[in-house]
Structure formats: structure tokens, C-alpha cells
Amino acid sequence: MVFSTITFLFYFLPIVLVIYYIVPKKWKNTILLIASLLFYFYGEPKYIVLMILSIIMTYIFGILIEKNKNTQKAKMYLIISICISVGLLIYFKYTNFIIKNIQIWLTNKIEFIHIILPIGISFYTFQMISYLIDVYNGKAKVQKNILKLATYVSLFPQLIAGPIVRYTTIEEQLEKREYNIEKFSAGVRRFVIGLGKKVLIANVLGELQNIFLVSNEKSVLFYWIYAISVMLQIYFDFSGYSDMAIGLGKMFGFEFLENFNYPYIAKSITDFWRRWHISLSTWFRDYIYIPLGGNRVNKIKWLRNIMVVWFLTGLWHGAEWNFVIWGLYFGVLLIIEKVFLEKYLNKLPQIFARAYTLLIVMISFIIFNGEGVEQIFQNLGGLIGTNGTPIISTESIYYFKSYFIIILIAIIGATPIPKNIVNSNKLKKLVNILEPIYLLMIFIICTSYIIDGSFNPFLYFRF
């Protein structure tokens, strides 16, 4: 089940909210847990057992680590638990990727294993690992109530598409959280805006990409339209889901940390990754980069640490080489910036620094979205006309005119401009009056698109 479906919007969510708010406080976590397990069961019936077993394992190892605190046994239990969690992730997500690469060197082919990737396994695996590491390091108290731990791991608002919620972020909220109409209203507002990002912008740009991919009349202009639409679609899809998750969290009394902070206004790649998928980049920083030594080691080890982190970041996104290349691409660029380029970027006028960052990011998402190395180079070459394609074509002009408005809206919406206008003192009263109307309009239009059966992909299945 995903958020942008009729089943979720008109059946699951309203029923869960009504039950959640009529039961006493002591039962709210139980209702959330049952709802989260049903949510997951709806999409992955057979893998609900895997999630439950993973939760039980995490609960037991958390108790063992706490019981043997500051001993070698605690370290041993932590290592075993991480190996099991990562082992399960590797099996379900990377087995056939490994087989495919081994086959290159073998004359006798190995049969692929029929494995269906459990939705959200990358997200909840990272949450369980961070919980156990924080317990081991004394940053979090062990959770002795297995129902509360299970609620944290399976919490449906962030289960399938993040953000990656740390246990330390909601540790106190699992025990006690605030409920009021202002918080609930803010949650509804955030959810509807996220839904609009996903359905009205990301999905429409996804349709444009599909048109490009099957077109026989490509041109340099069409390649640029495609590249820009990919960059915008990925942002609005992912940030839209994060907005919906944060909004749902507020409706149930939780406060999740922000996952995006206008990454397309960044003035360097370093700045970009402080703003993009914040929960993932900080997870790798705290649980991989810093334990490896971070930048407090000699230069060779420091460069190694960066490349290890970005190799794993790329691989986390999917079991294909384009994701690995994507991660390493950012690793190399970040090294170049940190070694010498960043001091020059800081001296540049902001417009040039931002243009540099956007170009680098646009190229990265062509790599990210590519189906094989050949298509990646073809799409990159198309931007500068090396494929022998014309500068413009009748078809590219037609689709440029057809999608110009939505692309323009997306470009403006990826900046703080709308937020600044809405929050300006001059318009605040008017916005407060009109806000319920435009939110209702967004919700109705989104519902119409969903009912119509419009393009509605689930990008996070491979994560």
C-alpha cells in the first residue's frame, strides 16, 4: 500500500485515525503497531514474518547488549546482530546482482534465484542497526517493551520511503507525545502538499520521461527536457513522500526530522548533500564515516573513508552498477571539492556556484535513472548533440510547449520562493483564510488523477 492510492486515502487512513483518537492513550501505540503491520501486510503478505522476526531479533540483541554493557560480549552481540541484518538485506536485495556479476567470469551459467524484494527493507534495516549501535554506545536506552520497539520499526508513515527515523529521535515520543488540533492541522497540511508534489508534479514529469524514452524523434532540446524532468521528478517524488510521512507523523503526535531542505539552491555538492535525503546522508556519516575515522586520519585513509561511504550510498539505492557509479561519482566530486575546489566556489557569485551544482546534479540523475551504461552515455551525449541528433525537432517543440508550465511550476516549487511568499507578513492573513480552500482543491485534483488511473509509479520499491 502506498500513500497516493484510494485505498489508503479513503479507507485505511480515516479508519486508523478514528480508532487511534477514540482509544485511551495507553492503547495508542498498540493501534499504531496493528495498523502498521496491516499496512505492510497489504503490500507484502509473506514478508510480514520477516519483519516480525527482524524486530524480535533486534529486541533480543538490544537486551543482550545492554545486559553486557562495556564488555567484549556486548561488542560481539552488536557485530552478530549487524551481520544478520546486513546479511538479510544482501540476500534479498543483492543476491541476483552478485550472481549476474559472477556469471561474467564463468562458462557454466548460474541460475538466478527468484527473490521478491521486500518493500522498505533498506529503511527498516538501517533503523534497527542504528538503534542497536546507539544502545551499545549509550546514546539510547534499551527498549524493554517489545511492542514499543515494534511500533518504532514498523511505523507505517515512514516505513516504505523514509525518512530514516532514528530511535533517539522518537524515543521519548513513544512514551509520551503531544496531541492538539494545531499539530494535527499542520500534519494534514504537510500531507496534502506532499501528495500534490507526488501526484500533480512528479507523476506528470514521469509521463514526460516515458514519452521521451519511446520517442523516435529525439533532439538536443528533447534530451535537455528529459534531463531536467528527471532531476525534478526524483526530487518531487522523494520529497513528496517525505512530506507525507512527516505530515502523517504529526497527525499521530510524532515529530520526524526534515529530510530535504531545498537542495536545488545548493552552492556546492557538499552543500547539496547537507540538503538532500538528510536522514540517509547523516546515517552514513554517523554509522560508517565517523567510525572509519572520518577526517581525523591521514589523507589516504580519509579519501578511502569518503569513497567507502559513497560506494555504499550508491549500492543502497539499488542493485545495479548505475547506482554504484552514481555514488562513486559523488564521492569523487566531494573529494575534489574538499581538497581544493570549495574555496574557489565560495568566491564565485552565487548564480555561478548554483549553476555548477545543478549541472553536476542533473548529470548524476541521468546516471541514476539510466538502464545500463550504454543508455547513460547516449543520454549524456544527447545533451551536447554527439549522437547525431538535431538541435530541435517538431516533436520536442510540441512537448516543450505541452509541459512548459508544469516544468516551470516545478522549478519554482523547488526553491523557497513559494514558502517565502506564503510566510510574508503582508500576505499572512490572506493565506490563513485561503489555505483550507487551496489544500482542499489540491486534494480533490489529486484524487481525480488517482481515480483516473494516471501514471503513479512507486520509485522506492528498489530501495
Active site residues: 317
Buried residues in 122-137 as b, exposed as e (16+ CB within 10 A)? bbbbbbbbbbbbbbbe
Rounded CA Rg of the chain: 23
- Residue 160 C-alpha cell reads as 516504505
Spatial distance between the Cα atoms of 124 and 167, rounded to a whole number of angstroms = 11
Strand, helix or coil at 162? coil
Cα dihedral 169→281→195→437 (10° resolution): 70
Give the integer Cα–Cα distance in Å for 325 and 193: 33
Whole-number Å distance between alpha carbons of 394 and 217:
8
| Cell numbers at 25, concatenated | 492513550
Quick one: CA dihedral 52, 53, 58, 63, positive or negative?
A: positive
Give strand ranges (E) for 135-268: none
Contact between 128 and 58 under an 8 Å Cβ cutoff? The reply is yes
Other CB atoms within a 10 A radius of the CB of residue 399 amount to 21
C-alpha cell at 175: 512514551
Q: How far apart are CA 318 and CA 92, in angstroms?
A: 12
* DSSP code, position 325: H
Could you tell me which of 158, 214, 207, 134 has the C-alpha nearest to residue 36?
158
The cell numbers describing 61, all together, are: 540483541
